[in-house]
Structure 1
Amino acid sequence: MLALILTLPGICNIFGVMETPALEIQLQTLPQSPGVYQYYDKNGRILYVGKAKNLKKRVTSYFNKTHDNHRTSVMVKRIHDIKHIVVASETDALLLENNLIKKYQPRFNVMLKDDKTYPWICIKNERFPRVFPTRRLIKDGSEYYGPFTNFKTVNTLLDLIKGLYQLRTCNYDLSSEKIKNGKYKVCLEYHLGNCKGPCEAFQEEKEYNENIEAIRQIVKGNFKDSLQQFRHQMKAHSEIMEFEDAQRIKEKIDVLENYQSKSTVVNPNINNVDVFSIVSDEGYGYVNFLQISHGAIIRSHTIEMKKKLDESDKELLELGIVEIRQRFHSNSKEVYVPFKVDVGEDVVIHIPKLGDKKKIIDFSIRNARYYRQEQFKQMKIVDPDRHVNRIMAQMKEDLRLSEEPRHIECFDNSNIQGTNPVAACVVFKNGKPSKKDYRKFNIKTVEGPDDFASMEEVVFRRYKRLLEEEEPLPQLIIVDGGKGQLSSGVKALEALGLRGKIAIIGIAKRLEELYYPGDSIPLYLDKKSETLKIIQQLRNEAHRFGITFHRNKRSKTALNTELEAITGIGDKTVVELLTHFRSLKRIKEASLEDLSNLVGQAKAKIIYNNYHRE
């Protein structure tokens, strides 16, 4: 690799981010070649490492435009020194960038997580080789297959191998001289049928090595040769009427076919292929990797990548592909991805659209999503603040807000043909209900079933009071309804001088479309998005709270009306009766004596006679 390192002692640009004129000249003399650039602050700490197809074009782009992303703006202001390394190709730049990020872990770079040691299957370099799992790679000529993502996969493969082939587990030096001299005796594993006793020359080295070669193919995902070999052996035993031995071979075939059927998920003709996909949110990207051999997934792994500068999915996937292929020592020449990426000229990139290849991409995406969901579940328990921050950032982006909606209020009207009209306001803070802040309203100025006017009244009353009491206002208001209810809410905010200071949207029930003031075209969110789920939860909670209030009011009104209809019974007596007996049923069932003790003999007779007429 040809590399040239150049240090630029500071930077200046037309926007005044830096002030050293000499650096402007240095920027103009940057090579138009592939390479890697590194940004340093005035204390010599590395800020960022990036790759470029054209170093001059890429580096100068940071200094000749304003950046929408806040973190990028902050980083550019801190840049004091620049180093760059010219390399021979884009592939070299990609690999070098990955290595430098892992080495220096710059503050503004994507953070690659999960740097643990992975297990391998070792075929030991010795006579009558042992096969065992390990995390240590020793350069003694032994063969190592992997790494695997976890020991569960390793143990499954080793259990399969143990069921098919009898291999030794002892660590004796089985040299021909020591075996010939009778130094060793067979152990319990031999008597259990798990080993054929090579330590006493009960098994020839040629037969043992044939088994080892078959094991090599199995750990690579190729079961064809082993199945063919076992079928020949079964047939041979059957022809000479060794049916017990033939049955034993058949059981091994069944084990191998059962394992193969579970691991084969695509066309068996798809061989030696790496599959990559990505799902991401506001703060993190999740890159899934599947390794396919002879139609079987022999490895699956997902890495989490923390965004620092609002990196695109393309950038994250490219970095993830290089990192994972290095980590798992993959040399596959074919890679399947969901969209075009640049990972070097030595790799053939396919973007499947149909058939089995597309199915495996979809399968990879499902794995990435599942991993993301599992991370969220753990996040809620281990780091709830990070979970809340992510949700709020996602809602800000999805709903096109100017700030995160940490405080949201939702309104809903409730009435039956205009009777007992009420409204409810529910409050969510940091994505969770704040029930102590819930409010309910009796509609005072509207007659008849007029949802629009009712919405305008309650929104006006709610925020007029908050302003008078100098209470904090929400970042987002949601009204349950379409454009009509939204317009009413906007009128109330205009009357209070709050239009444009608080974001307000409406949600219509039929298709869950979101309406914005002054925009006739609704916004449709993904039905599975967390933002829509929180909005639905708000709407449903407002509806529940409003309906409960309306039902209670209606019941109380009906109750009071029946008692007040009795001639000679006033409001004060009704309150006394309901406070003591708690329900109309108990009042009806009360004895004359009980009623007399509470409201006096005269009123008691009136009430008693009203409910006990012949």
Structure 2
Amino acid sequence: MFDPKPILKTLPNLPGVYRMINATDEVIYVGKAKDLKKRVSSYFNKNLPSPRTRMMVSHIVKIETTVTRSESEALLLENNLIKSFMPRYNVLFRDDKSYPYIVLSGDDFPRIAFHRGTQRKGSTYFGPFPNTNSVRESIQLLQKVFRLRTCENTVFANRSRPCLLYQIERCTGPCVGHISEENYRHDVNQATLFLQGKEQQVMEELEEQMMTSAQDQNYELAAVYRDRMQSLRQVQAKQFVSDFSLSDADVIACAEAQGQHCVNLVMIRGGRQLGDKSFFPKNADGCEVEALLEAFLEQYYVAQNLPPVIIVGVPIETTALEEVFTELAGRKVRINTNPISDKRVWLKMAQTNAELALQQRASQQANQQARLLALREALDLSDSTERIECFDISHTMGEATVASCVVFDKGAMQNSEYRRYNITGITPGDDYAAMRDALTRRYKKIAAGEGKVPDLIFIDGGKGQLGVAVEVMREVGLPDILLVGIAKGEERRPGLEQMFFADRETPVGLKKDNPGLHLLQQIRDEAHRFAITGHRARRGKARMHSSLQDIAGIGVKRRQKILTHFGGLDGVKNASVDELAQVEGVSQMLAEKIYQELH
């Protein structure tokens, strides 16, 4: 039995993070505390209310702590440790992508663009948005109404005539001086006001400009302002959150059904609903809704911009979270757990979204399970067949060969376990050699205990590829895994696929309406999609390869400056030594070296 008394005696009454560790030296829980001594001691009370907590405490053999300067710093550290260790008793909200934003660059003629990732100083960001479609629709609207440029700076700096967007009235042509910097800035300011939710102010300014232009008998310009007002009115009618008194807010609800949980997040920015997103936590069995929502708030908002108000439909302890979020945001953040009036209506909508998402997920899982059962029966597979991996090869006449591996497990495609393999050192176009390379690299590691062993492996190909796979699995020491080759039928039409087995003389075909065939096609098509996406990216990178990359002394930033200065690699090749030396960061000696290398 673990005796916590020696550790508890030494713990300070300071904020920090604690880690619970089991007998196999595995971190099973990570938590934060405003007072480490009080929080960790609470786990060893005689009457713990939660069976889940009692189970966790029974596995503890060691406790590690880290003191931090503040509770907000503890929250950040806790979030990083949860992502690193993925503890089994922490509720986990996995989201492998950062959220998309709209960005207005800090250039003389600001560019409006889609942004995901690290935010840079000098630019203005609006968001986050729940999905990429919301961002792209907003950008298209802003192009239509305010006609801001979307082109890259390298294109903008080297244009001699306006592009197609100018011709279709989606840009004012700042690249060739068709609009002054002052007028363009005015359009940018109006777009900024719109994104901030101040549509009425924009409408009033547009109306004033329209009336002034009409009085000056500049009717064409007045018509432009009139059209902008009409477009904005249409948007207001479609997207405005009627009677919602908050400009920026997040509305969060949680639903539970058959042991599964779903958290639905509705985003409201600038008085408009941008959409919603559903999250399905891991390790939530037996977890109370209150604890689950607290875990969501902590994990989600550490990495996101915080709105001034977060509306939650469950009574949770908000004081500590509000203090932490206020410190992180640099302004007051309020968590409302007792919404009334219109806010309650939006909370009910989020609740409905969460319940609907759970129903759809359960239906999808049941459908996938039925397909898996049909596939087992059709191919005479073991009842324990759960984990399926599938391989495909993609290249263009031998160029930039890429192999993909996708994984189906637990009744769904496991995107986080997908892998791509860049194939080199083979005869271009040799699919057998490419398949051998990919299979060897993956299953050598698995045979060494660095991954999960699949129950079934699909190989996209016929007898030849299957024969290679059989040889590889023998060589790596995994000969007992069932291998199946999938050959496309006549004219490569779906529904005519044939399955080849190493121990069967004749291939097996399934009827077009067989659910097992549908699962096989889904997995095979996903492997093909994943392979061709990787191949196209690799091929594009190879074809866009700059010979400047091969010159010692030229890093990424310096190469970018050179290419921007001359408008591309052709301009660099045509430049003289003296012209090259005029680029910031390029000495006379380096300019001579560049010239010699390129000629």
TM-score interval (norm. to shorter) = 0.5 to 0.7
Contact conserved, 2:312 with 2:347, CA < 8 A, in 1? yes
Counterpart in 2 of 1:378?
Answer: 364
Identity %: 30
Counterpart in 2 of 1:362?
Answer: 348
Alignment partners' CA distance in 2, 1:382 and 1:216: 46
Q: Which amino acid aligns with 2:208?
A: H
What does 1:550-569 align with in structure 2 at a 5 Å threshold? Answer: none
Counterpart in 1 of 2:497?
Answer: none
Alignment partners' CA distance in 1, 2:32 and 2:191: 42
Q: Which amino acid aligns with 1:336?
A: I
Contact conserved, 1:127 with 1:174, CA < 8 A, in 2? no
Alignment partners' CA distance in 2, 1:385 and 1:156: 36
Give the Å deviation of 1:53: 4.7
Alignment partners' CA distance in 1, 2:165 and 2:371: 54
Give the Å deviation of 1:154: 0.9
Alignment partners' CA distance in 1, 2:51 and 2:44: 14
Alignment partners' CA distance in 1, 2:175 and 2:69: 55
Alignment partners' CA distance in 2, 1:84 and 1:56: 10
Give the Å deviation of 1:341: 3.0
Alignment partners' CA distance in 1, 2:207 and 2:337: 39
1:348 has 2:304 as partner: no
Contact conserved, 2:284 with 2:292, CA < 8 A, in 1? no
1:43 has 2:27 as partner: no
Q: Which amino acid aligns with 2:152?
A: N
Give the Å deviation of 1:237: 3.2
Q: Which amino acid aligns with 2:147?
A: Q
Give the Å deviation of 1:161: 0.6
**Taking structure 1 as reference, are residues 163 and 287 closer, same or farther at Cα in structure 2, changes over 3 Å only?**
same
Secondary structure at the aligned position of 1:290 is classed as strand
Alignment partners' CA distance in 2, 1:196 and 1:206: 13
Counterpart in 1 of 2:308?
Answer: 333
Alignment partners' CA distance in 2, 1:100 and 1:129: 38
What does 1:17-32 align with in structure 2 at a 5 Å threshold? Answer: 17-18=1-2, 23-32=4-13
Give the Å deviation of 1:253: 1.4
Q: Which amino acid aligns with 2:322?
A: G
Which residue of the other structure, out of 12, 33, 46, is the alignment partner of 1:65? 46
Q: Which amino acid aligns with 1:365?
A: Q
Give the Å deviation of 1:167: 2.6
Alignment partners' CA distance in 1, 2:204 and 2:216: 19
Alignment partners' CA distance in 2, 1:383 and 1:316: 27
Give the Å deviation of 1:151: 1.5
Alignment partners' CA distance in 2, 1:62 and 1:137: 38
**Taking structure 1 as reference, are residues 24 and 298 closer, same or farther at Cα in structure 2, changes over 3 Å only?**
same
Alignment partners' CA distance in 1, 2:116 and 2:370: 33
Give the Å deviation of 1:90: 4.5
* 1:58-77 Cα deviation digits (max 9, x unpaired): 43343343767665444333
Q: Which amino acid aligns with 2:27?
A: I
* 1:543-578 Cα deviation digits (max 9, x unpaired): xxxxxxxxxxxxxxxxxxxxxxxxxxxxxxxxxxxx
What does 1:270-419 align with in structure 2 at a 5 Å threshold? Answer: 270-281=246-257, 283-298=259-274, 300-308=276-284, 310-330=286-306, 332-338=307-313, 339-342=315-318, 343-345=321-323, 346=326, 347-382=333-368
**Taking structure 1 as reference, are residues 51 and 189 closer, same or farther at Cα in structure 2, changes over 3 Å only?**
closer
Give the Å deviation of 1:239: 2.9
Secondary structure at the aligned position of 1:111 is classed as coil
Contact conserved, 1:268 with 1:296, CA < 8 A, in 2? no
Counterpart in 2 of 1:166?
Answer: 147
1:233 has 2:205 as partner: no
Counterpart in 1 of 2:111?
Answer: 130
Secondary structure at the aligned position of 2:310 is classed as strand
Give the Å deviation of 1:293: 3.7
Contact conserved, 1:120 with 1:154, CA < 8 A, in 2? yes
Contact conserved, 1:286 with 1:303, CA < 8 A, in 2? yes
* 1:207-238 Cα deviation digits (max 9, x unpaired): 11111122222233332232122211222233
Secondary structure at the aligned position of 1:306 is classed as coil
Contact conserved, 2:143 with 2:171, CA < 8 A, in 1? no
Give the Å deviation of 1:250: 2.5
What does 1:132-531 align with in structure 2 at a 5 Å threshold? Answer: 132-137=113-118, 139=120, 141-171=122-152, 184-243=160-219, 245-267=221-243, 269-281=245-257, 283-298=259-274, 300-308=276-284, 310-330=286-306, 332-338=307-313, 339-342=315-318, 343-345=321-323, 346=326, 347-382=333-368
Secondary structure at the aligned position of 2:253 is classed as strand
Alignment partners' CA distance in 1, 2:39 and 2:255: 26
Alignment partners' CA distance in 1, 2:166 and 2:340: 52
What does 1:546-585 align with in structure 2 at a 5 Å threshold? Answer: none
Q: Which amino acid aligns with 1:198?
A: P
Alignment partners' CA distance in 1, 2:17 and 2:52: 20
Contact conserved, 1:273 with 1:293, CA < 8 A, in 2? yes
Alignment partners' CA distance in 2, 1:206 and 1:247: 21
Alignment partners' CA distance in 1, 2:354 and 2:81: 26
Q: Which amino acid aligns with 2:349?
A: F
Give the Å deviation of 1:296: 2.1
Contact conserved, 2:91 with 2:295, CA < 8 A, in 1? no
Q: Which amino acid aligns with 1:333?
A: P
Q: Which amino acid aligns with 1:379?
A: Q
Secondary structure at the aligned position of 1:274 is classed as strand
Give the Å deviation of 1:114: 2.3
Give the Å deviation of 1:367: 2.6
TM normalised by structure 2 equals: 0.54
**Taking structure 1 as reference, are residues 65 and 382 closer, same or farther at Cα in structure 2, changes over 3 Å only?**
farther
Contact conserved, 1:123 with 1:144, CA < 8 A, in 2? yes
Alignment partners' CA distance in 1, 2:316 and 2:274: 25
Q: Which amino acid aligns with 1:227?
A: M
Q: Which amino acid aligns with 1:220?
A: Q
Contact conserved, 2:130 with 2:274, CA < 8 A, in 1? no
Secondary structure at the aligned position of 2:89 is classed as coil
Secondary structure at the aligned position of 1:380 is classed as helix
Give the Å deviation of 1:54: 4.4
Q: Which amino acid aligns with 1:123?
A: L
* 1:297-354 Cα deviation digits (max 9, x unpaired): 2453332222446222222112212322233322x33332222332132332323443
* 1:163-203 Cα deviation digits (max 9, x unpaired): 1022334435599xx89xxx722333333333333233221
**Taking structure 1 as reference, are residues 68 and 198 closer, same or farther at Cα in structure 2, changes over 3 Å only?**
closer
**Greater C-alpha Rg:** 1
Contact conserved, 1:337 with 1:361, CA < 8 A, in 2? yes
1:121 has 2:102 as partner: yes
RMSD, matched Cα: 3.2
Counterpart in 1 of 2:574?
Answer: none
Counterpart in 2 of 1:108?
Answer: 89
Where do 5+ consecutive residues of structure 2 fail to align?
327-332, 373-599
Q: Which amino acid aligns with 1:76?
A: V
Where do 5+ consecutive residues of structure 1 fail to align?
1-16, 387-614
Length, aligned pairs only: 361
Alignment partners' CA distance in 1, 2:205 and 2:273: 23
Contact conserved, 2:21 with 2:27, CA < 8 A, in 1? yes
Q: Which amino acid aligns with 1:271?
A: S
Alignment partners' CA distance in 2, 1:82 and 1:256: 58
Does 146-155 or 293-302 show the bigger shift?
293-302
Contact conserved, 1:128 with 1:174, CA < 8 A, in 2? no
TM normalised by structure 1 equals: 0.53
**Taking structure 1 as reference, are residues 184 and 160 closer, same or farther at Cα in structure 2, changes over 3 Å only?**
same
Alignment partners' CA distance in 2, 1:265 and 1:376: 31
Give the Å deviation of 1:243: 4.6
